[in-house]
Amino acid sequence: MADGFASREERAAFIAGVPKAELHLHIEGSLEPELMFELAQRNNVAIPFASVEEVRAAYAFSNLQDFLDIYYQGMGVLHTEQDFHDLTAAYCARADADNVRHIEIFFDPQGHTSRGVAFATVIAGITRALDDARTTYGMTSKLILCFLRHLSEADAEATLDEALPYLDRIAGVGLDSSEVGHPPSKFERVFARARGLGLKIVAHAGEEGPPAYVHEALDLLKVDRIDHGNRSLEDPALVRRLAGEGMTLTVCPLSNLKLCVVGDIADHPLKTMLDAGLHATVNSDDPSYFGGYVNANYLAVADALDLSRADLVALARNSFTGSFLSDAEKARHLAAIDAYA
């Protein structure tokens, strides 16, 4: 095995032990089938599944849109402040179990306000659980509001208006949902306004969309990070630019496998990205739908690509250097990782 691991178990133990940050996690995508059933019952919402097993069996996707259709249906069970709290608290417990010490999580307010759930309800439930996680686990967090790119820029503008009273709890804005046909350029003005408000900027780009969308995210949205970014590898000049700018990519191996962005985990480009000097990180995206939280994602690529101890340390370091923590907080986490290097 690469670089001094005597066995898979030893590599798994290393992954489990090293402190990590998660930078690409849709909180609605952490809704486990068991909680979906509990909330459906609590809120008297009908769901088209008879059992948890039936729900899991429905999680077979050929592409991003297949998944999104089920994802938006699943979040329909979320109604009250307590629901959003319970969802977020369950995720924080799973992250803590993986020794994830800092989280930067997405939420999709338009997926809720469009169903009549108030923005205030969503943010109150999520932030109460994040505050609890800080107390209980010492876990720090940032919240990122994602605009749904299949909707209009005017809808995104209205959502940013709704967020204005809560900017003390929102670190940044992002762009998610159906990528192809909805390029970053569609949202240039609303992202300019968000930047003017002092918000950090991220965008999903190059998951299914072409390298040109990654260029647009950089040039037009002026992103601080790229979410996914896989298809950047098709454009050598773009790879050189991303590496040169030290741009963080939030890569999601099990998501890529489940959404057929890669045909086989052994073909995942993570090692190629690291070797090209890209600042890649490993994240779970929508763990309940894609079959694993952070450590499962690290382990899947570590096994398939025979990642070395140095690779794994680089990934853990990248997760903090690419975060929106202060330099002092980053330094504290990096010092903790040094014990593993």
Quick one: which of 22, 32, 286, 311 contacts ligand HPA (CB under 6 A)? 286
**Smaller CB distance to Zn ion: residue 144 or 274?**
144
Length of the chain: 341
Q: What is the DSSP letter of 203?
A: E
Tell me the C-alpha distance between 324 and 224, whole Å. 9
Q: Is 79 annotated as a binding residue?
A: no
User: Which residue's structure tokens are 């950047």?
Assistant: 232
Note whether 104 and 323 are within 8 A (CB): yes
Per-residue DSSP letter, 175: E
Buried b / exposed e along 223-255 (16+ C-beta atoms within 10 A): bbbbbbbbbbbebeebbeebeeeebbbbbbbbb
9 as an active site residue: the answer is: no
Catalytic residue among 22, 207, 208, 216: 207
Does residue number 285 form part of the binding site for ligand HPA (CB under 6 A)? yes
Binding partner at 207 among ligand HPA, Zn ion, none, C-beta below 5 to 8 Å by kind: ligand HPA
Residue 235 known to bind ligand: no
Residues 160-199 that bind ligand HPA (CB under 6 A): 176-177
CA distance 133 to 125: 13
- Judged by CB under 6 A, does residue 159 bind ligand HPA? no
Nearer to ligand HPA, 283 or 318 (CB): 283
Q: Which is nearer to Zn ion, 22 or 285 (CB)?
A: 285
Q: Map the footprint of ligand HPA across residues 63-102, applying CB under 6 A.
A: 64, 71
Could you say whether residue 112 binds ligand HPA (CB under 6 A)?
A: no
Q: Is 204 among the annotated ligand-binding positions?
A: yes
Q: Which own/partner pairs from 12-16 qualify as long-range (CB within 8 Å, at least 24 positions apart)?
A: 12/295, 12/299, 14/309, 14/312, 14/340, 15/295, 15/298, 15/299, 15/302, 15/312, 16/98, 16/99, 16/295
Say if residue 155 carries a ligand binding annotation.
no
Cβ proximity of 32 and 90 under 8 Å: yes
Shortest Å, Cβ 204 to ligand HPA: 5
Question: Could you say whether residue 285 binds Zn ion (CB under 5 A)?
Answer: yes
**Beta strand segments in 28-171, E:** 100-107, 140-148
Q: Which of 11, 102, 186, 204 binds ligand HPA (CB under 6 A)?
A: 204
**Residue 81 interacts with, from Zn ion, ligand HPA, none (CB under 5-8 Å by kind):** none
Cβ closer to ligand HPA: 125 or 287? 287
Per-residue burial over 314-333, b = 16 or more CB atoms within 10 Å of its CB, e = otherwise = bbbbbbbbbbbbeeeebeeb
- Least Å distance, CB 254 to ligand HPA, is 11
Query: Which residues, 6 or more positions from 50, have their beta carbon under 8 angstroms from its beta carbon?
Result: none
User: Is position 104 an interface residue for ligand HPA (rule: CB under 6 A)?
Assistant: no
Q: Which residues would be at the binding site for ligand HPA (CB under 6 A)?
A: 26, 29, 64, 71, 176-177, 204, 207, 255, 285-286
Q: Which residues would be at the binding site for Zn ion (CB under 5 A)?
A: 285
- Residues tagged in the binding site annotation for substrate: 286
- Residues tagged in the binding site annotation for Zn(2+): 24, 26, 204, 285
Give the active site residues. 207
